[in-house]
Chains A and B, each alone.
Chain A
Amino acid sequence: MAADAGVIRFQRTSKRYHTPARGEVWALRDMDLVCEAGGLTCVVGPSGCGKTTLLRLAAGLEPTTDGRVAIDGRTVTAPPPGIGLVSQEGSLLPWRRVIDNVALGLEIQKVGRTERRTRAREAIRRVHLPPAVERSLPHELSGGMRQRVALARALCPGPRILLMDEPFAAVDEPTRHRLQDELVRLWQADGQTILFVTHNVEEAVYLADRLIVMTFSRTVADLPVPLARPRDRLDRVFVDTLLAVRRTFAEHVNGLSCDTTS
């Protein structure tokens, strides 16, 4: 277990769904992937290629059809302790104020009210939200602020692993860039293992130290991203890397349908 602490391991992992319209659909097929402890792995691929399924299996929200997913060396059969999940917009509880949303994980762990408020305020501060928003309801915030709250909620209990499902897809570009910078800053400070799923190649290159290209429910490329940080989107090396990844992406993805029916 100790050797595998913070490691996410997919071993010949497959997931098949049954849909009324198309029968059996493979969302993931024989996936082998090891996300090393403390790494920031981005999975990039077009819609429907199984990226979200990958995260849902790691989060223990769905069982595998074949193969295995392990976190900290233990097979995942239910949401494992010590993980945080940030998804696209809409996972905040709309009836809870920001501070109570952020403190949800601690409340579930039955942490006392004073301590959880203190820790929730610290998490709110870390994602650069003004203290005044703690009394706001989610619908009173902008999309970018809501995603910061979602990130604060995931970080608040101090997870070793963060699973992120296109968390910045619904925000405008300048906000997305700021959120990406903040994510990197928090990751460098805390050293969690991050598995980040996106369909945005530039985002993946900007964030990742390892990039997985997925299509047809499988991995088609596993690329290290050895760029120094902080990264500059206008820097020549960054642009060259981005172009190389785009080329790989285009070779495998463009013009192809991702869904695989049996």
Chain B
Amino acid sequence: MTVKRFLVRLALGAVPPIAILIVWHVASVGSVVVPSIPAVVEVLAHPFRAPPTLDATSLASGALVSILRVLAGFALAAATAVPIGLLVGRSRTAMDVLQPTMAAAMVISPIAWIPVAIIVFGLSSPATALFGDEAWRYGLLDRVRFAIVAVIWLGAFFPIALNAAAGARGVREAHIESARVLGAGRRQVLAKIILPGAAPAIVTGLRVGGGIAWRVIIAAEIFPGTRGGLGYMIATAHAQASYEYAFASIIVIGAIGLALDGLLHLAAVRVSRWQPKER
């Protein structure tokens, strides 16, 4: 790409954000609901400062709690969905048993499970499981509530599993047979043929699952009883009319989501580089 082409693309990409800033500025003039841009920038410029007007921790701390919750649920989803997806992709019986349920569960919004998860897990966390009544002393560990992790897991599990299944199903029989003839057993076929062959689809599933996990966390944190996190900060800022914190949280959510997607995109490029480019 030439420098000129790069600059043109950069300029074109900057049009929507600039338009949004203009609309925002116009809407904020004289408004008590829409905060001014400088007020939000002030919040973003001091991410470690606890909001003086809110019953919430700092923006950075909220972001950290949200990230930890997503990482826990997402890691759990990846660890369970990839093996199950590979099984469904390679075993006719497993597919007949699991595929209909997975396809049905996929279309249920994970947000619908939030009340159920709160009923099942209550306020328990790794800290309450390990330290009981002393859990409150272990701040971050206590914020990673099982209910929220379960909802993230549910949200990310199905796209990862279904993509892994499709990837495993798409592995060519000729590749598996060439390894078998060279002496590969089941484990070697899995490690050397099925996993790398399905890797692009698995990473696509991780990317979709990661996006869903990040959206779901905000919804889950807005629910009552889940202290901490960016969703909680938005809900509290709304309830206490400190809208600049709500806006700042939304910007941070967007930035983290973009970074997460960028990382997974890099992983996708890395595992797919053997695929010939479309011409």
Contact = CB atoms under 8 A, between A and B. Distances in A.
Contacts of B178: 85, 87, 91-93, 104, 153
Contacts of A59: 177, 181
A137 B275 CA distance: 9
Given A85-B178, A87-B174, A94 B275 contact: yes
Interface string A80-96: 01011101001111111
A81 B185 CA distance: 12
B276 A85 contact: no
A105 interface: yes
A61 B177 contact: yes
B183 interface: yes
Contact of A81 (B183, B188, B276): B183
Interface residues of B, number: 20
B182 interface: yes
Contact of B172 (A81, A90, A96, A105): A90
Contact of B182 (A94, A105, A137): A105
A107 interface: yes
A199 to B, nearest CB: 19
A185 interface: no
Contacts of A90: 172, 174
Interface stretch (B58-66, B158-166, B190-198): B190-198
A107 B175 CA distance: 15
A61 B180 CA distance: 8
Contacts of B260: none
A109 B193 CA distance: 15
B192 A91 contact: no
A178 B179 CA distance: 27
Nearest to A93: B175
B184 interface: yes
A157 B196 contact: no
A81 to B, nearest CB: 6
Interface in B220-279: 274-276
A139 interface: yes
B181 A61 contact: yes
Interface in B77-101: none
A175 to B, nearest CB: 20
Given A91-B174, A93-B175, A108 B183 contact: yes
Contacts of B188: 108
Contacts of A81: 183
B270 to A, nearest CB: 11
Interface in A214-253: none
Contacts of B177: 59, 61, 85, 91
A90 B196 CA distance: 16
A79 interface: yes
Contacts of A137: 274
Contacts of A104: 178-179, 182, 192
B179 A108 contact: yes
Given A90-B172, A104-B192, A139-B274, A95 B197 contact: yes
Interface string A183-200: 000000000000000000
Nearest to A137: B274
A83 B172 contact: no
A109 B175 contact: no
Interface in A113-154: 137, 139, 153
Contacts of A87: 174, 178
Interface in A56-109: 59-61, 79, 81, 83-85, 87, 90-96, 104-105, 107-109
Interface of B: 172, 174-175, 177-184, 188, 192-193, 196-197, 199, 274-276
Given A83-B181, A85-B178, A139-B274, 20 more contacts: A59-B177, A61-B177, A61-B180, A84-B181, A85-B181, A87-B174, A91-B177, A91-B178, A93-B178, A93-B196, A93-B197, A94-B275, A95-B197, A95-B199, A95-B274, A105-B182, A108-B179, A108-B188, A108-B192, A157-B182
- The 9 A-B residue pairs with the shortest CB-CB distance in the complex, in nearest-first order: A105-B182, A95-B274, A139-B276, A85-B181, A91-B178, A91-B174, A79-B181, A108-B184, A108-B183
